[in-house]
Amino acid sequence: MLGHPPPSTLPNGEAAVPLVAEHCLAALARGSTALMTMEHWADGVDRLLAELGPVTGASRVWIFQLLELQPEAVIQDYVFEWASSERYRQLTQRRFRFFTSSLDDPEYRRLVEERQVGRRHDFCVPAMPEGPLRRNLESQAIRSMATVPIFVNGRWWGTLGVDDCERAVSWAGPGLDLLEAAGQLIAAALYRYQLNHRSRQVELFHKVADCGVWEVSLRNGRVWCSQGLKVALGYPETYPRIPLRRLAARLHPEDRAEVWVRLRAALGAPEPSQFRLDARVCLAGDAWSWYEIIAEMQHNEQGEPVALAGVLVDIGRRKQEEEQAQTASERDALTGALNRRGLDRQMTECPATSPRHLILFDIDHFKQINDTHGHLVGDALLSCLVDRIQHELRPEDCLVRLGGEEFAVLATGMRDDQALALAERLRRLVADTPFSIEAPGQEAPLSVSMTVSLGVTRQSDDDAEALGQLMAEADQALYAAKHAGRNTAVAYHAIAAGRT
């Protein structure tokens, strides 16, 4: 106690703990520096307690961490301690490891309840009334004690306390103020450690899972992004604040509208909800890339939505594989033309905004070609046919292999006479020039001549005709072409007009 001023007397007759303001401020400054600079926050706490002990003249400075608060008991652990001598050390005693304190005693229950709301306490043991709490302190040879609760993220995390086994003094006023300031320094260090630890976990998750983590406050619209996501968005890692409107602008307009729809649904949900959405996002460059947005609405203890948090997962490779799989499922493996599934999608996903015609055709007497030259030559002939016809079509026209030697062309933006003229050009394209086929076992290529018969129909103006109806009409026109001697093109509307 060398260097401490003599104790003053409080109105209740108790002596106040003697403190020197300059020494207390210096101890807090050194402890704060340790909390900021030491590698682990716990080492900084040890140093802060070691600074507080000598300036207060206490026997012990300690911290209990709250582990669980039960209806009838509180479970704590003795996690930090500074002791002025070995005889005052309690950290190594088994009775203080994960110990349970019953709340049967009304005085101790009130003490715990007050700590939960931030109340600090000062005990001069000889002046305390008889009871379990006084007997517990006396069993530890404590003559005076002061405690302040430590709060992290608004929750009671633990208790910082000092024990004096030599002096029965009051810690009210400056003593509790000093302890409370130290508790706030500890809480700030612990909160900073938790943030840094969580940030490291987030960045590791970002690297491993190739995703970014984000959170938007519903109270003020502020956005938090992981460092990796900031960099992907073109911002420095230390950029302080990304405006919500800038983040929203990175979403494709169509997907942005869907995000707002999902967000409104989540806000109106009675319980916390989550949604997932594949969206196009423009990051640091100008290209749109596919990401999966996984978002969850977070609620406070009153059940009110307070934040939207989630991850942004790069699914570009998955989308590419899906597109490749879809393309493969909609393409004829032999010729590369669309198949019936591909034609169905064209009809359903690309509604007609202008006249649309279906030209149905097949190879005349193709069975004879197969019987004469074999199926390998027949397959090669089908591939050559597709290549030749594809060069005659526009990019917006679709060439389809329906099966065997039967094909179709879906053409848009043509009048009836233009569609019939296209069918006629295709007929001549096949009939006028023989096909040169490399045949197994043949030194010279085979020259194979063939013809096609074609039927043409037009989708009605109301766009209500199903593909099946179009196919039926085109098939009737194709049948008429074959009945007319093959190697010709017939329009369905001419057949229909002839019937009336």
Per DSSP, the three-state class of 235 is: coil
Burial status of residue 142 (CB atoms within 10 A of its CB: 0-12, 13-18, 19 or more): buried
Rounded Cα–Cα distance for residues 464 and 476 (Å)? 19
Rounded Cα–Cα distance for residues 6 and 58 (Å)? 15
Contact 194, 182 (CB under 8 A): no
Burial status of residue 125 (CB atoms within 10 A of its CB: 0-12, 13-18, 19 or more): buried
- Least Cα distance to 454 among 357, 382, 387, 384 occurs for 357
Place of tokens 């074999």: 374
Going 38 to 42 to 48 to 49, the CA torsion angle's sign is negative
Which residues are 437's β-sheet partners?
446
Rounded Cα–Cα distance for residues 311 and 160 (Å)? 38
Q: CA neighbours within 13 Å on the CB side: how many for 276?
A: 3
Going 148 to 153 to 158 to 163, the CA torsion angle's sign is negative
- Looking at residue 141, its amino acid is A
How do beta strands 398-403 and 489-491 pair? Answer: unpaired
Which residues are 158's β-sheet partners?
65, 150
Going 161 to 163 to 168 to 169, the CA torsion angle's sign is negative
Catalytic residue, chosen from 51, 81, 292, 405, is 405
> What would you report as the CA-atom Rg of the chain, rounded to the nearest whole angstrom?
42
- Least Cα distance to 23 among 58, 59, 52, 49 occurs for 52
Burial status of residue 232 (CB atoms within 10 A of its CB: 0-12, 13-18, 19 or more): buried
CB atoms within 10 A of CB 72: 9
Sequence-ordered list of residues with C-beta below 8 angstroms from that of 44, at least 6 positions apart, any chain? 31, 34, 35, 36, 37, 38, 189
CB atoms within 10 A of CB 359: 26
Sequence-ordered list of residues with C-beta below 8 angstroms from that of 25, at least 6 positions apart, any chain? none
Sequence-ordered list of residues with C-beta below 8 angstroms from that of 418, at least 6 positions apart, any chain? none
Catalytic residue flag (residue 39): no
Q: What is the dihedral of CA 38, 41, 44, 45, to 10 degrees?
A: 180
Contact 182, 50 (CB under 8 A): no
Active site residues per annotation: 405
